[in-house]
Structure 1
Amino acid sequence: MDKLLNDLVAVVGPEGVLLGEDVSQRSVDWFTGAPCRAKAIVRPRNTEQLSKVMALCYQADQLVVTHGGMTGIVHGGEASPEELVVSLELMNQIEEVDLVGSTIQVQAGVTLQRVQEAAAEIDMQFPLDLGARGSCTIGGNIATNAGGIRVIRYGMMRQQVLGLEAVLSDGTVVSSLNKMLKNNAGYDLKQLFIGSEGTLGIVTRAVLRLQPHMPSEQTALVAVPSFDALTQLLRRVSQELANSLSAFEALWNSHYKLVTTESGKHAPPLADDSPFYAIIETLGLDDTQDAEHFSEILQKAMEDGLITDAVLASSGAQRQGIWAIREDIEVLVHQLKPMFSYDISLPIPHMDAYVDTLEQNLKAQFPQTGKMIVFGHLGDGNLHIMITVRDDSSQSRRQVEQLVYSPLKEYGGSISAEHGIGLEKRDYLNISRSSEEIALMKRMKVALDPKLLLNRGKVVAVE
């Protein structure tokens, strides 16, 4: 290892290799703050350096774990003392913005927020958006196929990527920085790396699609009397706001009450006695007309009993206040500590029955300590479930995981909607994927990483 570290220093320079406390003071888990245990952290500044780093690691049979913004929550960034971490934090340049082609080319270590700001500077938008925008990186967004609050309109990260560049485990650079919407010249190789969580290659650069800036933004928080009314409301706004609906977020009462009145962190814009709440947002071009249309639709929904109360944001501050209730994960971590977090998806018609059954089973197994809160991107079938049993032992975790994941097979759901598999969900992958699919994933892993050096054991376990 010492020889390898010396060779790596020769490639990236002394400032490019971190050792000792510079490694251990870094966290690999956003929720628990668990420290990094890797032997060293290597920080290349460009693709050429990373290629040389991986070639050296390949020759030495050195295991490598990739780090981006470290906002993941499925233990994908965990590293043992025998592993090296490759961090892309110094590969953080925006290389090109093309107004005519509506693209932006960036290095993998650029944060999502910087890309959003660069797009705004040319009166465009990069539509992917999530709460960790200030720290998550584009490489991590690609590696996990990130989702967020605007999937209902713009799709997942996969839909935002036109081309990318990646370095394989042996140092080979696969550069496919395509800038065209149409390119059917053979296999679409970028799809191999999007959502692969760094197990097939390390994404270094990407060409991303930009969308027109929408100057009109309408946001409302509404109280909804039942899950049936919630789904009817989603169907109605999807039809009547089809060209402008950008977000439809659902908050179960448990979430809304905890984040507002119980924690005291946020003043509740609406009373906390409704079983469901929804944040509805549109993006458009004419603020006056959009606001009038938006208000009319909500008024009609209230008259029809789909909404019992509503507050419409009339300023940027009010809009941020509404979204803060949805995005304040820190208050959940504090109130539910120790907390287990789950990110699942299933067909919308089954959601209510799934949540009710899960809550009943949780209370049956943990009658004194079990508590759960639910919220999520209802428009795209994604629920976030936070559970505490006031005990974070491995036995309790396994019990809760079984409660959460096992019913999903019956409903045709997924154990991971947008956070990936990592180590945490690997043993449950067969709930959402067939044996044939998993076997093919393993064949792909061996084909692209024959020594199993990249994020070994993550997503799928290959002997």
Structure 2
Amino acid sequence: MTDEDKLLVEMRKILGDAVVWDRAELSRRDPGVDSRNFTAAALVRPNDTAGVAALVAYCAANGLELVPQGGRTGLAGGAATTPSQVICDLGAMNSVEEIDAFARVAVVQAGTPLAVLQEAALVEGLDPGIDLASRGTCTIGGMVSTNAGGIMAFRNGTMRNRVLGLEVVLPDGRVFSDLTRVMKTSAGYDLKHLFIGTEGTLGIVTRVAVKLNPVAAAGATALVGVPDAASAQRIVRHFLGRTGISLRAAEIMWHRFALAMSRMLGIEPGQLPLDASCLLLLELGADDLGAATTALEDGLAAIWEEAGILDGLVATSNQQARTIWRLREETEQIERMHKDPPSFDVSVPGDEIDSYVARLEAGLKAIDPAYAPYVFGHLGDGNLHISINVDGPVSHERHRAIEDVLYSGLRECGGSFSAEHGVGLDKRDAYERYADPVKQELARAIKTLLDPGGTLNPGKIVSTRS
């Protein structure tokens, strides 16, 4: 019996009826968005927190490296594995345990897809206050681990702002239980924040208490053409200042991205207003569709000249609204146009966006005159997504040169080289070059303190080398 066979026998003995896949089984399964997710020796899917704790304790005791995985939608290599590692898959822990409609709190197992929580909360007229295009696949635990943002972050904050309490399995197998379900707690260190955004390197999230918000009964959607991001921001501020409505989305797309997406999606010319330099996608919530549509139309008319609006379309049907949203959300079309294009995810302060985009266009053309980036993102919080119009991967030297254009000066002006996709494996080099050195020292110290054996997701975000 090989060492790998012995490992599988031990896993099945410890975890009972939990799913255990060997290397051969993994090779036949879909690894998600990153082919490196399933290069491990085995995958184990515990049924509950006790099972996760037993698996972690076994790995810690035997010097095995363990990689937590949720929906496998991450874009920074945070769930990537090596042939000697074991996967802890949270897919069996997928229940919404409780929704307290009065307190507006849900208690959810970590493997629960976002869409499942959204549907369960909607029955009570509530919503988790966060939304991602991958809502059907991404999991609550994964969203906590990456501090996910999405289209509603400008209004409700990132996942860090939605979490009231956590249950986490620590690197030695102990269970940290702080499933606080109240907003007010001033009881010493708020340690749950150690595990939000740390990509499973300090602990494996197993259960989450999530804050819920009332959801508007109906929403209206518009696509508006503007000359630049500053004009789009004037529109957003206008709607944020109005009462009786809620601005649920404010997404921005530059012309090159929108035009490429419309072609890939087969949207006929003239169906949407796509000729402006920038396009602003708005969604407004109100008590009913009529009120939302009227508020959107009246609001745009009131700000039209001041904001320099060039064109606009308020959706008159659900189908038209879906078409507008497809333009923004089905970004895998860019991946189909260009095989593995270099892609980036940054946060830029609002008043810097136009100058940043102009600077990156010029900087990229200085590297290669053929470079013409696709730029889009979440206007309200300054999160821009950037893909380069080239088949990848590019050389390490070329990738670093592109990063220098996109990342230089971001920290100094209050932005971030990684907005919502995390650091994982792929951005660790950028983290070491662009993150504050003292922050890096503290992060390494915390990792060494909590996980001295390097059991959980080693190599992601921080390197513990001195």
TM range (shorter): over 0.9
Q: Tell me: CA distance 1:56–1:100, structure 2 relative to 1, closer, same or farther (3 Å).
A: same
Counterpart of 2:88, as a letter, is V
Q: CA RMSD in A?
A: 1.9
Q: Tell me: CA distance 1:52–1:344, structure 2 relative to 1, closer, same or farther (3 Å).
A: same
Structure 1 CA distance for aligned equivalents of residues 128 and 337 of structure 2: 33
Q: Tell me: CA distance 1:35–1:436, structure 2 relative to 1, closer, same or farther (3 Å).
A: closer
User: Match of 1:41?
Assistant: 43
Compute the displacement of 1:91 (Å).
1.0
User: Match of 2:227?
Assistant: 225
The 3-state SS of whatever aligns with 2:38 is: coil
Q: Tell me: CA distance 1:105–1:281, structure 2 relative to 1, closer, same or farther (3 Å).
A: same
Compute the displacement of 1:394 (Å).
3.0
Q: Tell me: CA distance 1:305–1:151, structure 2 relative to 1, closer, same or farther (3 Å).
A: closer
Structure 1 CA distance for aligned equivalents of residues 30 and 74 of structure 2: 11
5+ residue gaps, structure 2: none
Structure 1 CA distance for aligned equivalents of residues 229 and 104 of structure 2: 40
Cα deviation per residue 1:58-108 (whole Å; 9 max; x = unaligned)?
110111111110000001111111111111011112211212221111110
5+ residue gaps, structure 1: none
Structure 1 CA distance for aligned equivalents of residues 242 and 309 of structure 2: 16
- Residue of structure 2 aligned with 1:352, choices 344, 351, 354: 354
What does 1:386-401 align with in structure 2 at a 5 Å threshold? 386-395=387-396, 396-401=398-403
User: Match of 1:263?
Assistant: 264
Structure 1 CA distance for aligned equivalents of residues 306 and 414 of structure 2: 32
Greater mean alpha carbon deviation, residues 297-306 or residues 87-96: 297-306
TM-score (norm 1): 0.94
Compute the displacement of 1:264 (Å).
4.7
Compute the displacement of 1:361 (Å).
2.0
The 3-state SS of whatever aligns with 1:263 is: helix
Structure 2 CA distance for aligned equivalents of residues 49 and 15 of structure 1: 8
Cα deviation per residue 1:16-44 (whole Å; 9 max; x = unaligned)?
210022212345561x6456210100110
Q: Tell me: CA distance 1:41–1:333, structure 2 relative to 1, closer, same or farther (3 Å).
A: same
Counterpart of 2:25, as a letter, is D
Structure 2 CA distance for aligned equivalents of residues 167 and 449 of structure 1: 12
**1:371–1:387 CA contact under 8 A, matched in 2:** yes
Matched, 1:70 2:72: yes
- Residue of structure 1 aligned with 2:238, choices 217, 227, 236: 236
Structure 1 CA distance for aligned equivalents of residues 74 and 37 of structure 2: 14
Q: Tell me: CA distance 1:334–1:7, structure 2 relative to 1, closer, same or farther (3 Å).
A: same
Structure 1 CA distance for aligned equivalents of residues 167 and 337 of structure 2: 41
User: Match of 2:299?
Assistant: 297
Compute the displacement of 1:444 (Å).
1.0
- Residue of structure 2 aligned with 1:25, choices 21, 25, 28: 28
User: Match of 1:408?
Assistant: 410
**2:108–2:208 CA contact under 8 A, matched in 1:** yes
Greater mean alpha carbon deviation, residues 47-56 or residues 265-274: 265-274
**1:64–1:84 CA contact under 8 A, matched in 2:** yes
Matched, 1:104 2:124: no
- Residue of structure 2 aligned with 1:13, choices 10, 13, 16: 16
The 3-state SS of whatever aligns with 1:388 is: coil
- Residue of structure 1 aligned with 2:129, choices 124, 127, 130: 127
Compute the displacement of 1:115 (Å).
0.2
What does 1:307-456 align with in structure 2 at a 5 Å threshold? 307-368=309-370, 370-395=371-396, 396-430=398-432, 432-456=434-458
Structure 2 CA distance for aligned equivalents of residues 158 and 356 of structure 1: 31
**2:253–2:376 CA contact under 8 A, matched in 1:** yes
